[in-house]
Homo-oligomer: A and B are copies of this chain.
Amino acid sequence: MGKVICAGLGPGDPDLMSVKSDRVIRAARRIAYFRKKGRAGQARSIVNGMLRDDVTEYAMEYPVTTELHFESEEYRRLMVDFYADWADRLADLARDDDIVVLCEGDPFFYGSFMHLHTRLQGRAEVDVLPAIPGMVGCWNVLDTPFTWGDDVLTVLMGTLPEAELTDHMRRADALVVMKTGRNLPAVRRALVATGRLQDAWLVEKGTMPAQRVAKLSEVGDADCPYFAIVLVHGQGRRPEAAL
């Protein structure tokens, strides 16, 4: 009897994954990971050079193309079938031996693994290994304390309506915006409306070799991939926090 072990990989630098994830991945006889069709896959790339020679790999390829709108019924149905199918296969695989599922960032923090986690309940033993979230790797790259004192940190998705983005940005001290990409114009307008644009950074592939860091005010609207993260530092809330 094996387990489904979801190993969080952290922000991208293999040196930043946990000792536990590192050990589990190096020992794995079977691994699975999400990827787009025709791509190597970010999760798989992070573990390059770490795997056993005799490892068996299961690429869980997303069935959708960018032509389908995220909110269409066809998209929803394809994704439901995709997750249901892989939950079946992983539960089946775990009957013989452990299967290690690789997940970027921390699996419980906006991770796709949740769709499998939910469906595997009661069907297989599931272990989830936490990891450094992508945003933590990104703010580390900026080499400045991100939150301190009584700062309020708010994490927003760029896919939210602009009015909600603005409302949250007005109230928060430190800010993280994920899922930017084509939503950057709205994110930028909300930052301008709340006086935060000049303090905003864009970090792409933080901690990875292709890492890019830029002041958001100097980034064009068309020059922002979906996985780039916008960061605004907190300034500390209480007087004694400013020791």
Contacts and interface: CB of A to CB of B under 8 A. Distances in A.
Interface stretch (A11-19, A190-198, A213-221): A11-19
A31 to B, nearest CB: 18
Interface in A69-98: 70-71, 75-76, 79-80, 83
Contacts of A117: 145
Given A19-B15, A243-B83, A155 B153 contact: yes
Nearest to A159: B150
Contact of A243 (B79, B106, B146): B79
A107 to B, nearest CB: 8
Nearest to A141: B130
B144 A152 contact: no
Contacts of A171: 167-168, 171
Interface stretch (A41-49, A53-61, A132-140, A222-230): A132-140
Contact of A108 (B83, B108, B146): B146
A124 to B, nearest CB: 14
Given A139-B108, A153-B155, A243-B83, A114 B18 contact: no
Interface string A106-135: 111111011101100000000010111100
A160 interface: yes
Contacts of A211: none
Contacts of A22: 19
Given A19-B17, A19-B19, A240-B70, A132 B153 contact: no
Contacts of A156: 152
A130 B128 contact: no
